[in-house]
Amino acid sequence: MRKAIFLFICLLVAGQARATTYYATSSTVNIDTASLWLPTSTGTCTGSGTALVWANRLNGDVLDANGCTDLAINVDAGGTSVQVTLQTNASTGGGFTLATADLGTMTTLHANILAGSTSAVALTGSTGCGTISGSITSGGTASKRGVEDTHTSCTVVVSGTITGGSASSAAGYYITGNGPVTINGNSVAGGAASAHGLYLSGAAAVTVNGNCIGVDAASAAGCCTAGGTLTVTGNLIYGKKGPAVKTDGGTFYYIPAATNYILLPKDSSYVLGTIDSHATELPTDPGAANVKTGVTYGSFTGTYGGGGGGGTGRITP
Protein backbone atom coordinates (compact mmCIF):
# COMPACT_ATOMS: atom_id res chain seq x y z
CA MET A 1 0.00 0.00 0.00
CA ARG A 2 2.77 2.39 0.93
CA LYS A 3 4.61 1.62 -2.30
CA ALA A 4 1.46 2.33 -4.29
CA ILE A 5 0.96 5.69 -2.54
CA PHE A 6 4.62 6.57 -3.07
CA LEU A 7 4.38 5.68 -6.75
CA PHE A 8 1.22 7.77 -7.12
CA ILE A 9 2.91 10.79 -5.54
CA CYS A 10 5.94 10.39 -7.80
CA LEU A 11 3.74 10.24 -10.89
CA LEU A 12 1.76 13.25 -9.70
CA VAL A 13 4.90 15.34 -9.15
CA ALA A 14 6.41 14.23 -12.45
CA GLY A 15 3.22 15.18 -14.26
CA GLN A 16 3.07 18.70 -12.90
CA ALA A 17 3.94 21.42 -15.39
CA ARG A 18 7.06 23.46 -14.64
CA ALA A 19 8.12 26.96 -15.53
CA THR A 20 10.00 27.08 -18.83
CA THR A 21 12.17 29.50 -20.78
CA TYR A 22 10.74 30.06 -24.25
CA TYR A 23 12.51 31.75 -27.17
CA ALA A 24 10.94 34.02 -29.76
CA THR A 25 11.22 32.96 -33.41
CA SER A 26 9.76 35.93 -35.34
CA SER A 27 10.16 39.70 -35.33
CA THR A 28 7.53 42.43 -35.60
CA VAL A 29 4.69 40.36 -34.19
CA ASN A 30 2.44 40.40 -31.13
CA ILE A 31 3.67 38.40 -28.17
CA ASP A 32 0.56 36.19 -28.19
CA THR A 33 1.12 35.09 -31.81
CA ALA A 34 0.60 31.35 -32.22
CA SER A 35 3.78 29.20 -32.40
CA LEU A 36 6.00 32.19 -31.63
CA TRP A 37 7.62 30.81 -28.47
CA LEU A 38 9.67 27.60 -28.61
CA PRO A 39 11.55 25.91 -25.74
CA THR A 40 14.95 25.62 -27.47
CA SER A 41 16.94 28.34 -29.22
CA THR A 42 18.75 27.21 -32.36
CA GLY A 43 20.17 30.61 -33.22
CA THR A 44 19.17 34.24 -33.55
CA CYS A 45 15.37 34.42 -33.72
CA THR A 46 15.05 30.67 -34.44
CA GLY A 47 14.13 27.72 -32.27
CA SER A 48 12.75 24.21 -32.02
CA GLY A 49 10.42 22.12 -29.90
CA THR A 50 6.77 22.23 -28.96
CA ALA A 51 5.43 25.77 -29.07
CA LEU A 52 3.96 27.49 -26.04
CA VAL A 53 0.18 27.57 -26.04
CA TRP A 54 -0.45 31.13 -24.92
CA ALA A 55 -3.33 30.23 -22.60
CA ASN A 56 -1.07 27.74 -20.79
CA ARG A 57 1.53 30.21 -19.48
CA LEU A 58 2.82 29.35 -16.02
CA ASN A 59 4.08 31.40 -13.11
CA GLY A 60 7.84 31.71 -13.55
CA ASP A 61 7.91 31.28 -17.33
CA VAL A 62 10.56 33.32 -19.14
CA LEU A 63 9.95 34.82 -22.58
CA ASP A 64 13.34 35.50 -24.17
CA ALA A 65 13.43 37.80 -27.21
CA ASN A 66 16.22 35.61 -28.66
CA GLY A 67 17.38 38.32 -31.05
CA CYS A 68 13.90 38.97 -32.41
CA THR A 69 12.91 42.63 -32.48
CA ASP A 70 9.70 44.63 -32.19
CA LEU A 71 7.86 42.04 -30.13
CA ALA A 72 4.70 43.96 -29.30
CA ILE A 73 3.33 43.49 -25.78
CA ASN A 74 -0.26 43.75 -26.91
CA VAL A 75 -1.72 41.72 -24.03
CA ASP A 76 -0.77 40.94 -20.44
CA ALA A 77 2.24 38.61 -20.57
CA GLY A 78 1.24 37.12 -17.22
CA GLY A 79 -1.84 37.34 -15.04
CA THR A 80 -3.04 37.93 -11.50
CA SER A 81 -1.45 34.66 -10.37
CA VAL A 82 1.09 34.29 -13.17
CA GLN A 83 4.26 36.37 -13.07
CA VAL A 84 6.50 35.89 -16.11
CA THR A 85 9.79 37.48 -17.13
CA LEU A 86 10.29 39.35 -20.39
CA GLN A 87 13.98 39.48 -21.23
CA THR A 88 16.34 40.25 -24.05
CA ASN A 89 18.96 37.62 -24.70
CA ALA A 90 22.39 38.05 -23.12
CA SER A 91 24.05 37.21 -26.46
CA THR A 92 21.66 37.91 -29.32
CA GLY A 93 19.56 40.65 -27.74
CA GLY A 94 16.24 41.47 -29.35
CA GLY A 95 13.56 43.74 -27.94
CA PHE A 96 9.97 44.29 -26.87
CA THR A 97 7.69 47.27 -27.47
CA LEU A 98 4.86 48.46 -25.25
CA ALA A 99 2.29 51.05 -26.30
CA THR A 100 0.49 52.96 -23.55
CA ALA A 101 -2.81 52.28 -25.30
CA ASP A 102 -2.24 48.53 -24.97
CA LEU A 103 -1.10 48.96 -21.37
CA GLY A 104 -4.32 50.84 -20.68
CA THR A 105 -6.41 48.08 -22.24
CA MET A 106 -4.78 45.34 -20.17
CA THR A 107 -4.75 47.66 -17.10
CA THR A 108 -1.84 45.76 -15.56
CA LEU A 109 1.15 44.06 -17.13
CA HIS A 110 2.23 41.23 -14.79
CA ALA A 111 5.85 40.77 -15.81
CA ASN A 112 9.37 41.22 -14.59
CA ILE A 113 11.55 42.96 -17.18
CA LEU A 114 15.23 42.12 -17.65
CA ALA A 115 17.69 43.61 -20.13
CA GLY A 116 20.38 41.44 -21.71
CA SER A 117 22.70 42.68 -24.46
CA THR A 118 20.01 45.10 -25.66
CA SER A 119 17.40 47.25 -23.93
CA ALA A 120 14.37 45.18 -23.04
CA VAL A 121 11.21 47.29 -23.46
CA ALA A 122 10.58 50.48 -25.44
CA LEU A 123 7.55 52.24 -23.92
CA THR A 124 5.78 54.75 -26.17
CA GLY A 125 2.42 56.45 -26.62
CA SER A 126 0.24 59.17 -25.11
CA THR A 127 -3.10 57.59 -24.23
CA GLY A 128 -4.34 54.79 -22.04
CA CYS A 129 -1.54 53.89 -19.62
CA GLY A 130 -1.72 51.48 -16.71
CA THR A 131 0.54 49.57 -14.33
CA ILE A 132 3.66 47.49 -14.85
CA SER A 133 3.64 45.06 -11.94
CA GLY A 134 7.07 43.50 -11.52
CA SER A 135 10.75 44.23 -11.15
CA ILE A 136 12.66 46.12 -13.85
CA THR A 137 16.37 45.35 -14.09
CA SER A 138 19.15 46.33 -16.46
CA GLY A 139 21.93 43.94 -17.39
CA GLY A 140 25.62 43.80 -18.18
CA THR A 141 25.81 45.77 -21.44
CA ALA A 142 26.70 49.47 -21.44
CA SER A 143 23.86 51.91 -22.11
CA LYS A 144 21.23 49.15 -22.39
CA ARG A 145 18.24 49.54 -20.09
CA GLY A 146 15.35 47.59 -18.66
CA VAL A 147 12.77 50.12 -19.88
CA GLU A 148 13.31 53.08 -22.21
CA ASP A 149 10.32 55.36 -21.70
CA THR A 150 9.46 58.08 -24.23
CA HIS A 151 5.71 58.21 -23.53
CA THR A 152 3.75 61.45 -23.07
CA SER A 153 0.62 62.69 -21.28
CA CYS A 154 -0.88 59.75 -19.33
CA THR A 155 0.55 58.32 -16.09
CA VAL A 156 2.44 55.04 -16.05
CA VAL A 157 2.65 53.24 -12.70
CA VAL A 158 5.44 50.81 -11.81
CA SER A 159 4.80 48.49 -8.88
CA GLY A 160 8.11 46.81 -8.18
CA THR A 161 11.82 47.37 -7.64
CA ILE A 162 13.95 49.08 -10.28
CA THR A 163 17.64 48.14 -10.40
CA GLY A 164 20.54 49.41 -12.48
CA GLY A 165 22.88 47.02 -14.26
CA SER A 166 26.52 45.99 -14.02
CA ALA A 167 27.77 48.01 -17.00
CA SER A 168 28.29 51.72 -17.53
CA SER A 169 25.10 53.78 -18.01
CA ALA A 170 22.92 50.67 -17.81
CA ALA A 171 20.00 52.32 -16.02
CA GLY A 172 17.08 50.23 -14.88
CA TYR A 173 14.34 52.67 -15.97
CA TYR A 174 15.39 55.39 -18.41
CA ILE A 175 13.00 58.27 -19.11
CA THR A 176 13.38 60.76 -21.95
CA GLY A 177 9.67 61.48 -22.44
CA ASN A 178 7.45 63.93 -20.57
CA GLY A 179 4.70 61.55 -19.46
CA PRO A 180 4.24 61.24 -15.67
CA VAL A 181 5.52 58.11 -13.90
CA THR A 182 4.74 56.85 -10.41
CA ILE A 183 7.03 54.20 -8.95
CA ASN A 184 5.63 52.27 -6.02
CA GLY A 185 8.81 50.52 -5.01
CA ASN A 186 12.52 51.05 -4.45
CA SER A 187 15.01 52.31 -7.02
CA VAL A 188 18.46 50.75 -6.57
CA ALA A 189 21.78 51.71 -8.15
CA GLY A 190 23.69 49.18 -10.22
CA GLY A 191 27.32 48.18 -9.99
CA ALA A 192 28.96 50.43 -12.60
CA ALA A 193 29.41 54.13 -13.28
CA SER A 194 26.10 55.87 -14.10
CA ALA A 195 24.17 52.58 -13.89
CA HIS A 196 21.43 54.42 -12.02
CA GLY A 197 18.29 52.66 -10.89
CA LEU A 198 16.09 55.45 -12.26
CA TYR A 199 17.35 58.03 -14.75
CA LEU A 200 15.19 60.98 -15.73
CA SER A 201 16.37 63.24 -18.52
CA GLY A 202 13.04 64.25 -20.06
CA ALA A 203 10.50 66.76 -18.79
CA ALA A 204 8.42 64.18 -16.92
CA ALA A 205 7.17 64.45 -13.34
CA VAL A 206 8.28 61.27 -11.57
CA THR A 207 7.30 60.24 -8.04
CA VAL A 208 9.10 57.47 -6.20
CA ASN A 209 6.97 56.13 -3.35
CA GLY A 210 9.84 54.04 -2.07
CA ASN A 211 13.52 54.28 -1.25
CA CYS A 212 16.33 55.55 -3.44
CA ILE A 213 19.35 53.36 -2.67
CA GLY A 214 22.92 54.09 -3.74
CA VAL A 215 25.83 51.68 -3.95
CA ASP A 216 29.23 51.29 -2.28
CA ALA A 217 31.36 50.23 -5.25
CA ALA A 218 30.42 52.59 -8.10
CA SER A 219 29.38 56.16 -8.86
CA ALA A 220 25.78 55.24 -9.62
CA ALA A 221 22.69 56.69 -7.94
CA GLY A 222 19.51 55.04 -6.84
CA CYS A 223 17.59 57.92 -8.47
CA CYS A 224 19.14 60.43 -10.86
CA THR A 225 17.47 63.43 -12.47
CA ALA A 226 18.88 65.43 -15.35
CA GLY A 227 15.54 67.04 -16.21
CA GLY A 228 11.91 67.17 -15.23
CA THR A 229 10.79 66.86 -11.61
CA LEU A 230 11.73 64.03 -9.26
CA THR A 231 9.82 63.62 -5.98
CA VAL A 232 10.81 60.97 -3.44
CA THR A 233 8.76 60.04 -0.37
CA GLY A 234 10.81 57.14 1.05
CA ASN A 235 14.24 56.74 2.60
CA LEU A 236 17.43 58.06 1.00
CA ILE A 237 20.17 55.48 1.53
CA TYR A 238 23.61 56.56 0.40
CA GLY A 239 26.50 54.30 -0.54
CA LYS A 240 30.18 55.06 -0.09
CA LYS A 241 30.48 56.04 -3.76
CA GLY A 242 26.98 56.01 -5.19
CA PRO A 243 24.46 58.46 -3.73
CA ALA A 244 20.78 57.86 -3.07
CA VAL A 245 19.87 60.81 -5.29
CA LYS A 246 21.94 62.63 -7.90
CA THR A 247 20.78 65.87 -9.46
CA ASP A 248 22.36 66.74 -12.80
CA GLY A 249 19.51 69.09 -13.68
CA GLY A 250 15.78 69.35 -13.30
CA THR A 251 14.13 69.64 -9.89
CA PHE A 252 14.25 67.37 -6.85
CA TYR A 253 11.78 67.35 -3.95
CA TYR A 254 11.96 65.20 -0.83
CA ILE A 255 8.68 64.67 1.03
CA PRO A 256 9.29 62.02 3.71
CA ALA A 257 6.87 60.72 6.32
CA ALA A 258 7.76 60.80 10.01
CA THR A 259 9.22 57.29 9.77
CA ASN A 260 11.55 58.04 6.85
CA TYR A 261 15.19 58.98 7.10
CA ILE A 262 18.42 59.73 5.26
CA LEU A 263 21.32 57.34 5.85
CA LEU A 264 24.92 58.18 5.04
CA PRO A 265 28.26 56.39 5.57
CA LYS A 266 30.26 57.58 8.58
CA ASP A 267 33.41 55.49 8.02
CA SER A 268 34.87 52.66 5.93
CA SER A 269 33.05 50.00 7.96
CA TYR A 270 29.68 51.27 6.84
CA VAL A 271 27.41 48.55 5.44
CA LEU A 272 24.89 49.84 2.91
CA GLY A 273 21.52 50.36 4.55
CA THR A 274 22.62 49.26 8.05
CA ILE A 275 21.83 51.66 10.89
CA ASP A 276 24.66 51.37 13.40
CA SER A 277 27.69 53.27 14.71
CA HIS A 278 29.24 53.35 11.23
CA ALA A 279 26.31 55.26 9.73
CA THR A 280 24.93 58.75 10.14
CA GLU A 281 21.16 58.91 10.22
CA LEU A 282 19.14 62.04 9.67
CA PRO A 283 17.11 63.01 11.58
CA THR A 284 19.34 62.16 14.51
CA ASP A 285 18.17 60.77 17.84
CA PRO A 286 16.22 63.69 19.32
CA GLY A 287 16.64 62.61 22.93
CA ALA A 288 14.41 60.43 25.07
CA ALA A 289 12.79 63.29 26.92
CA ASN A 290 11.34 64.65 23.69
CA VAL A 291 9.65 61.59 22.24
CA LYS A 292 6.66 59.88 23.82
CA THR A 293 5.83 56.20 23.64
CA GLY A 294 4.79 55.07 20.17
CA VAL A 295 5.82 58.28 18.40
CA THR A 296 8.15 57.59 15.48
CA TYR A 297 11.01 59.82 14.42
CA GLY A 298 13.13 58.56 11.53
CA SER A 299 13.91 54.92 12.34
CA PHE A 300 13.40 55.55 16.06
CA THR A 301 10.36 54.94 18.24
CA GLY A 302 9.87 56.76 21.50
CA THR A 303 9.40 54.78 24.70
CA TYR A 304 9.10 57.69 27.11
CA GLY A 305 6.16 57.10 29.44
CA GLY A 306 5.64 60.78 30.17
CA GLY A 307 3.83 62.31 33.15
CA GLY A 308 5.11 62.49 36.75
CA GLY A 309 8.59 63.01 38.02
CA GLY A 310 11.31 60.43 38.01
CA GLY A 311 10.20 58.78 34.78
CA THR A 312 12.83 57.63 32.36
CA GLY A 313 12.69 57.28 28.66
CA ARG A 314 14.76 56.03 25.76
CA ILE A 315 14.72 55.98 21.98
CA THR A 316 15.05 52.58 20.35
CA PRO A 317 16.04 52.03 16.75
pLDDT band for position 317 (50/70/90)? very low
Answer whether residue 249 is part of any domain: yes
Strand partners, 188: 163, 213
The bridge status of strand 96-99 relative to strand 173-175 is: unpaired
Averaged pLDDT, 11-17: 43
Q: Are residues 247 and 310 in the same domain?
A: no
Q: Are residues 221 and 313 in the same domain?
A: no
| Cβ atoms of 286 and 315 closer than 8 Å | yes
Q: Are residues 127 and 273 in the same domain?
A: yes
Q: Are residues 293 and 152 in the same domain?
A: no
Residue 56 per-residue DSSP state: G
Q: Are residues 110 and 209 in the same domain?
A: yes
Helix (H) or strand (E) segment spanning residue 66: none
Judge whether residue 10 has pLDDT over 80. Answer: no
Answer whether residue 15 is part of any domain: no
For residue 308, what pLDDT is reported? 43
Answer whether residue 235 is part of any domain: yes
Answer whether residue 5 is part of any domain: no
pTM of the predicted protein model? 0.88
Answer whether residue 236 is part of any domain: yes
Q: Are residues 270 and 220 in the same domain?
A: yes
Answer whether residue 125 is part of any domain: yes
Among 6-15, 55-64, 117-126, whose mean pLDDT is lowest? 6-15
Spatial separation of the C-alpha atoms in residues 60 and 41, rounded to whole Å: 18
Number of domains in the chain: 2
Judge whether residue 232 has pLDDT over 60. Answer: yes
Q: Are residues 107 and 195 in the same domain?
A: yes
pLDDT band for position 61 (50/70/90)? very high
pLDDT (tens digit, 9 = 90+) per residue, 243-283?
999 999 899 999 999 999 999 999 999 999 999 999 999 98
Q: Are residues 209 and 301 in the same domain?
A: no
For residue 284, what pLDDT is reported? 72
Q: Are residues 193 and 317 in the same domain?
A: no
Strand partners, 212: 187, 236
Among 108-117, 243-252, 277-286, 307-316, whose mean pLDDT is lowest? 307-316
Cβ neighbours around 262 below 10 Å, total: 17
Please count the residues of the chain: 317
CA dihedral sign of residues 199, 201, 202, 205? positive
3-state secondary structure 240-301: CCECCEEEEEEEEEECCCCCCCEEEECCCCCCCCCCCCCEEEECCCCCHHHCECCCEECCEE
Judge whether residue 14 has pLDDT over 50. Answer: no
pLDDT band for position 200 (50/70/90)? very high
Q: How far is CA 41 from CA 24, 44, 71, 77, 194, in A?
A: 8, 8, 16, 20, 33
| Cβ atoms of 113 and 87 closer than 8 Å | yes
Answer whether residue 17 is part of any domain: no
Answer whether residue 304 is part of any domain: yes
pLDDT band for position 306 (50/70/90)? low
Range of the domain at 202: 95-282
Q: Are residues 300 and 275 in the same domain?
A: no
The 3-state DSSP class for residue 207 equals strand
pLDDT (tens digit, 9 = 90+) per residue, 210-230?
999 999 999 999 999 999 999
Cβ neighbours around 168 below 10 Å, total: 15
For residue 293, what pLDDT is reported? 76
